[in-house]
Structure 1
């Protein structure tokens, strides 16, 4: 059986979009017939009761230690520690391929270990982390740190045997940098339909507790980062309520922008129509999804959102929810306007308000659009099928191995 060791920034039991994508990949690969394990670097900060640690039936090794020290020295120390751990694991478990996931530090560690062991390396890019830092408000485009991160990314892409990106935007950007198209593959975001395929009925008790009335309810469930454009959604609410008086906005989650968003909502002329819930346990998210008619993703227009397609809209479609989103590149890869969702101009509260009020006011097509969107996820973004896209990548590096059939 072919063995794949995944190299990660962090993993379960920590909760993030990164860890949930990882869980889905590992679970689907194991179900397909591959033997998979994973190792995390020093950015994994959850308590580690054992090493290896089994979480949700998956085996994770830990590099151990704590990231610290001066910049650059700290990062190189992280890479060295992770590379040493990969080598130790590989000498015991004997993986056939190292599959590293961004950021570039994981890729650098895998390359160092792969050269020492003579094992091929696949590098998977989920986002360009210099652009993610700009979007999160922790970095500045054009800064020395920004360009150093890009240089490191380019070095990893050059050194890896094959490279996978999560969407066409990232792949096209790498091709524009001069990398060979045949080296680059796409593994799009997906949904584990065993988890998201059966939405709960509307939780009337929870709706009453939150004072949502009968709605309709617009919702956002996720992390509150500046690039998500949630300030534009709050700014649009007075115009939406003017046309749809019973409309309510439900905000579930938290993050760096939370305090500013709460203050903006409190000052809104329709403050009574906006509800903040805060973060909720992952196993309760479905209850809050059950209250929402339209899930809205008003991301700002910037490199990050134009190049990277998010996971959340696919989860919402799988939940049978209407999806609305700003017309940026990452959303256009997932949403066909008027068919699987509604697109509106980015950075434009008035345009957002018009699009959502029009959607809320025309319920006749809701059922059809929900069914079309669910079918789109089932046919093109179910992890059970998506994960087979890795097989040609692995097979090119392991020509003498018998891998599961791509068409199975």
Structure 2
């Protein structure tokens, strides 16, 4: 089986998107499949037409074309489609596997139709909702409606659809996409990357002034992550647990506002920002955090999409506290593998963190249950098997009959 993955971006860029991609490709290679990726023009790296990182080959598009919307996007689809064709000529795939956003699916559709290749489209989040979540779009706007319509149009025309969670699957079914056409390939982690967690880094703790009741967040600072609620919860948490501290690792669009809110807090001395840290240093900071907090706001994006960070925290045997939104409920069983608290509610967040700090005797059992859940249900080495029957059916049908139906059933 030869699979060409059509990607917005990939390695060497570090992002949740590229880490999921790496995990999928590595797991497929381990199964004996031949894989390659082709990245879009927004990646803007053209040093070489093909580059290899971490043993994986990535074909590159040329630079992103200029032009006002929607002309610029239309030209971008054309540039991307030509890059996909070049990759098809070089790699000779059996399957095209496009990953969101929808620009990649639209470009891949052109090539799939021209070359007679089956196409699976994988949606990690709806582009229009992601724009609302990061503050670059508005729900219900003309651009929002157009992007949503394009997503639906693409899903009707590809041969099969993959989504990362039940929330996205349910939304597509509500739009009229046949449920039997949609498979779920949930977020997972590469457990080979997570051995025994590091012991507490006492030198780093001393450098940062971190004690032994530390809540923390490691990741990107977007508005939908609800980090303003985490900072707002700190006075109430410190009132209940005087030794409590907050460690913020990462950066992003909300960083200036969050730093200002922390500086104005009556417990400003208990909140520490360290900015972005090198990827190979992140585990040192994780070692100082007792409870990883994920206070995502309640909105379409967070109700429909499951994040990756809580799974990584569980894989590292870290305690997880997360807001009670749909995406988190697919990952966290309240009181068993983690703690769920009311979203958009700093007081509820403070209460949940205080209760966790007060129940240190139960930490080891909860960590073990969370790790077991990841091993059992969110391990990429086993998750990847979900693709096989879909790939096999699509490639067999395409090989046997050029007039095969483009709406056959796939695993639900």
TM-score (norm 2): 0.95
Deviating above 3 A after TM superposition, structure 1's stretches of 4 or more consecutive aligned residues are: none
Shift of 1:111: 0.5
Shift of 1:283: 1.1
Shift of 1:90: 1.2
Q: Counterparts in 2 of 1:349-388, with a 5 A limit?
A: 349-388=346-385
Taking the aligned partners of 1:227 and 1:120, their CA distance within structure 2 comes to 36
Shift of 1:105: 0.4
From 246, 252, 269, give the equivalent of 2:266. Answer: 269
Shift of 1:355: 1.0
2:100 is aligned with 1:102? yes
Q: Would you say the 8 A contact 1:247–1:273 is kept in 2?
A: yes
What CA RMSD, in Å, does the superposition of the two structures yield over aligned residues?
1.2
How many residues align structurally? 399
Q: Would you say the 8 A contact 2:216–2:290 is kept in 1?
A: yes
TM-score (norm 1): 0.96
Shift of 1:188: 0.4
Shift of 1:15: 1.1
From 329, 338, 341, give the equivalent of 1:341. Answer: 338
1:405 alignment partner in structure 2: none
Shift of 1:400: 7.1
Counterpart secondary structure, 1:340: coil
Superposed CA offset, 1:37-74 (max 9, x none) = 010111113x4432210011100001112242111111
Counterpart secondary structure, 2:161: strand
2:3 alignment partner in structure 1: 4
Taking the aligned partners of 1:302 and 1:263, their CA distance within structure 2 comes to 24
Shift of 1:401: 10
Taking the aligned partners of 2:278 and 2:90, their CA distance within structure 1 comes to 37
Task: Point out where structure 2 has 5 or more consecutive residues left out of the alignment.
Answer: 400-412
Superposed CA offset, 1:72-99 (max 9, x none) = 1111111111111211221232100100
Q: Would you say the 8 A contact 1:395–1:401 is kept in 2?
A: no
Taking the aligned partners of 1:136 and 1:75, their CA distance within structure 2 comes to 20
Task: Point out where structure 1 has 5 or more consecutive residues left out of the alignment.
Answer: 403-408
Q: Counterparts in 2 of 1:134-153, with a 5 A limit?
A: 134-153=132-151
Taking the aligned partners of 2:46 and 2:68, their CA distance within structure 1 comes to 25
Taking the aligned partners of 1:68 and 1:276, their CA distance within structure 2 comes to 37
1:159 alignment partner in structure 2: 157
2:63 is aligned with 1:62? no
Superposed CA offset, 1:216-250 (max 9, x none) = 11010000000000000101001111111111100
Taking the aligned partners of 1:262 and 1:305, their CA distance within structure 2 comes to 23
From 66, 69, 72, give the equivalent of 1:71. Answer: 69
1:220 alignment partner in structure 2: 217
